[in-house]
Amino acid sequence: MGRQPCCDKLVVKKGPWTAEEDKKLISFILTNGHCCWRALPKLAGLRRCGKSCRLRWTNYLRPDLKRGLLSHDEEQLVIDLHARLGNKWSKIASRLPGRTDNEIKNHWNTHIKKKLVNMGIDPVTHHPLNQEPNNTENPKNISSTSDNTSKEPRSSTTTKETNGTTTEDESSSTVTGQNSSTDNNILSNIYNDEELFSYLWSEETTNAEASWSDSNYGLSGTSYHNDNNISGAGSDFPIWSPEGINGKEWTFLDYCQDFGVHDFGF
């Protein structure tokens, strides 16, 4: 007996989401939470597959998402985590608050991969491309700060831009202490191998996860601060839909205003 399709493929809409659909989804989730993705589209009045709704929400609509390119430090962390975890994008993403697995995966495939290859590093094994993996060493060795005895280029040094745009020398300190943001405090801590491993495998959720595990999705102030100001919009709110809606830059606040701030708990 075959498994039932998750949705009626003849009825559900596919393709890019419209602003109207976004509004419905956000409004519903902020009001009711997402108890069951399968049932959500019907309840929210959407002609979408529940899976599609979940994807749209987690990858794009969640207000705690950072928008824009990954910072240099985030990129470093992604490389380091990838060396240890492989293509476990969700696990990697869980260590970068405000970033999604899809976003990290895309960034890896489009930017970091090429960068590593240009540096002569195999993006899969994190070994030099012209050098066979000489033993069954733990991939930890590749990027760990404490393993400086290794003669191999460490992955943490590989993201140094060859085009000269990034000149900081990370040969020994990687990202430690380069700025005072909270993220970097975390980074500097976890670049110690022991701490990193306990950090990686700890059961505790990240701030982001904790923020949005609550079905009510209360909008705490700190959840919306865009510390890195990556968006460049000059707002404390993350970019809401930078390119998605008629090419207009919308902040989350704009969006809230558009269909009722009270809906968002302001």
Partner DNA sequence: AACGAGCGCAACCGCGGCGAG
Partner DNA sequence: TCTCGCCGCGGTTGCGCTCGT
Q: Which is nearer to DNA, 51 or 140 (CB)?
A: 51
Q: Which is nearer to DNA, 38 or 140 (CB)?
A: 38
Q: Which is nearer to DNA, 98 or 154 (CB)?
A: 98
Distance CA 211, CA 57 (A): 14
Residue 245 CB, nearest approach to DNA (Å): 10
Binding positions for DNA, rule: CB under 7 A: 1, 3-4, 6, 13-17, 36-38, 49-52, 54-56, 59-60, 69, 87-91, 101-103, 105-107, 109-111, 114, 242-244, 247
R_g of the chain, CA atoms, integer Å:
21
> Are the C-beta atoms of 92 and 263 separated by less than 8 Å?
no
Q: Which is nearer to DNA, 107 or 140 (CB)?
A: 107
Q: Which is nearer to DNA, 65 or 174 (CB)?
A: 65
Residue 156 CB, nearest approach to DNA (Å): 21
**For residue 107, what are the CA distances in angstroms to 17, 89, 142, 206, 263?**
22, 11, 21, 21, 33
Structure tokens at 224: 């919306």
Q: Which is nearer to DNA, 59 or 229 (CB)?
A: 59
251 SS3 class = strand
Residue 133 CB, nearest approach to DNA (Å): 19
- Partners of residue 128 on adjacent β-strands: 121
Residue linked to tokens 């558009």: 258
Read off φ and ψ for residue 221, nearest 5 degrees. -55, -45
Residue 146 CB, nearest approach to DNA (Å): 26
What's 10-67 look like in SS3?
Answer: CCCCCCCCCHHHHHHHHHHHHHHCCCCCCCHHHHHCCCCCHHHHHHHHHHHHCCCCCC
Residue 212 CB, nearest approach to DNA (Å): 11
Residue 231 CB, nearest approach to DNA (Å): 12
